[in-house]
Amino acid sequence: MTTLIPHLFRTEYRKIVSVLCRRFGFREIETAEDIVSDTFLTAAQSWGIEGAPPNPAGWLYEVAKNKARNYLHRQSILNDKILPEMLGWESKFDENEIDLSPVNINDSQLQMMFAVCHPAISAESQIALSLRILCGFGIEEIADAFQLSKDTINKRLLRAKEKLREANIPIEMPDTGEISARLEPVLTTIYLLFNEGYYSVSKNKVLRKDLCLEAMRLCTMLIENAQTNEPQVNALLSLMCFHASRFEARLNGEGALVIYEEQDTDLWNTDLVSKGGYFLRCAAGGKTLSRYHLEAAIAYWHTVKTEGSEKWENILQCYNQLLQLHYSPAAALSRTYAFSKVHGKEAAIREAEKLGLTGNHFYHLLLGELSFPADPLNGQEHFKKALALAKTETEKHAILRKLRQNNLPK
């Protein structure tokens, strides 16, 4: 029970909220969230006494529908007697319209993704609200993604919801001409969702497969829709397939991260590698080169088991293009690792030091790795700095293991 409800919250909360938000409209988005939160509270209380039902997700759907119907019934009475003309809700409150079928859940999530990414609110607010409503992110997780305070994120979400209400934005797919403009923040949201799972800094886990799989599901929905099946969407799904193919090799038996060079390639999922290749070929049909094309190409080369100059030279060239198109400290650090494979560790150390990312524990981890075996004392110093900056216990254990492997004092 201690793990079932949190797991279901992660997988089902966003689905039910999307259906209810689509049903109620943005003017009552908090009502939709309250109904779903109350549903999970009811589950915790009931299941704690009686045990979980045979179909927990179905139980949640039924309780949420009943709570929503009760709310709609109360509103209907209010409207019929007090506000029939002012609000015009008579046709809206059909108690039988709460549809939590898989088809309607998918349609609701797709429409919500594009409705939330309306130009009435800023791009940052679009992504933050999407992460909250559609991905079930907590305020702290969103704050981590934006590297902002929780208070700032809370204010941003409140302003965004108010603007959507004021603008009376309909929850529906936009016109064809608007879809391409809104597609980029939608893809950014899915990308951040996958990254939070793949490079998790939350809950002391370095890999959260449920988030990764949800991101892949949302991206698949876009590909299955003719209006949104664009090359960059295929590139993003390709990227996620390549990364997901190495799930089983990224963690050891203790749940600690296994670095790329030490991974057991026999554990790589060849089916997902093939799917990644398929979607990458589908992505080649467009005229625009996106960051997702380049990151997918990098991820593809990482699934090539044979080592050699061609592999790392291709990875390095992709990183060079990526940093020109979309700079990020993480990509810059990863490029430096590829640079070391092509030009050697000493040259790579000089490249890394130019970045000056002294507050980033991955920066010190990289310099620690590059310092061995030539300068073990420098490597030790950087590993210790990385240990002090690490955010999760699993990361700290991995760094301590590195110190032990190199016979260095902790």
Q: CA–CA separation, 143 vs 153, rounded Å?
A: 6
Element (H, E) at 232: helix 231-244
Distance CA 163, CA 18 (A): 18
- Which residues, 6 or more positions from 330, have their beta carbon under 8 angstroms from its beta carbon? 362
The answer to whether residues 402 and 368 touch, using CB atoms and an 8 Å cutoff, is yes
CB 382 within 8 A of CB 365: yes
Q: Is 29 exposed, middle or buried (0-12, 13-18, 19+ CB in 10 A)?
A: buried
Place of tokens 């046709």: 91
Q: In whole angstroms, how far apart are CA 343 and each of 66, 300, 350? A: 64, 21, 11
The answer to whether 237 touches 219, Cβ cutoff 8 Å, is yes
User: In whole angstroms, what is the distance from residue 83 CA to residue 76 CA?
Assistant: 10
Residue entry with tokens 């109904």:
35
Region for residue 168 given its phi and psi (left: phi exceeds 0; alpha: psi -120 to 50; beta: otherwise) = left
- Assessment of whether the complete model's pTM goes beyond 0.75: yes
Residue 90, C-beta contacts closer than 8 angstroms, at least 6 positions apart: 76, 79, 80, 84
* Residue 81 pLDDT: 57
pLDDT of residue 93: 47
Where b means 16+ CB within 10 Å and e means fewer, 109-142 reads bbbbbbbbbbeebeeebbbbbbbbbbbbbebebb
Stretches in the chain below the pLDDT threshold 70: 1-2, 77-96, 200-207, 407-410
- Please give the pLDDT value at position 37: 94
* pLDDT (0 to 100) of residue 176: 86
